[in-house]
């Protein structure tokens, strides 16, 4: 069961809206606004899942995922990338880098929550493309 979520989002309004929506669904949500804060928060209180914005003020979501992978405390965190970028091939790159999925902004929060619940219910047995 995925209960603890780390939301890594530099846009304060998006972060607040997603945090409120996720908390309403019963998730414990911590928020980080940049790469450095995300790594620190994840080490201190490892989440089950990280929702990571691709473009951060001090790096990329891929760099955050890389830091998570290098630390035994954070290596098992499931990761979802969020982005407003329309860069071709970014979804494929995100999945190749270890993300379960990439959600392109703007997206409906209910679609994200449905995806999180499917991942939570199916665990590691479910591949991203089968959701």
CA angle 101, 104, 106 (to 5 degrees): 140
Q: At what angle do helices 35-44 and 61-70 cross, to 10 degrees?
A: 30
82-106 pLDDT tens trace: 999 999 999 999 999 999 999 999 9
43-92 pLDDT tens trace: 999 999 999 999 999 999 999 999 999 999 999 999 999 999 999 999 99
Identify the CATH assignment for 4-130 out of 3.40.50.300, 1.20.1250.20, 3.40.50.2300, 3.40.50.10490. Answer: 3.40.50.2300
Question: In 3D, which of 73, 76, 82, 72 has the Cα closest to residue 109?
Answer: 82
Report CA dihedral (11, 16, 19, 21) to the nearest 10 degrees: -120
Q: Where are the domains of the chain?
A: 4-130
């Amino acid at each position: 069961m995925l209960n603890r979520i780390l939301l890594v989002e530099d846009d304060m309004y998006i972060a607040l809206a997603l945090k409120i929506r996720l908390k309403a669904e019963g998730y414990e949500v911590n928020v980080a606004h940049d790469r450095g804060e995300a790594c620190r928060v994840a080490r201190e209180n490892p989440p089950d899942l990280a929702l990571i914005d691709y473009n951060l003020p001090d790096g990329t979501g891929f760099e955050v995922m890389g830091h998570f992978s290098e630390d035994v405390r954070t290596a098992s965190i499931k990761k979802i990338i969020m982005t407003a970028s329309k860069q071709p091939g970014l979804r494929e790159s995100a999945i190749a880098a270890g993300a379960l999925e990439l959600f392109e902004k703007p997206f409906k929060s209910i679609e994200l929550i449905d995806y999180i619940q499917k991942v939570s219910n199916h665990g590691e047995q479910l591949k991203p493309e089968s959701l």
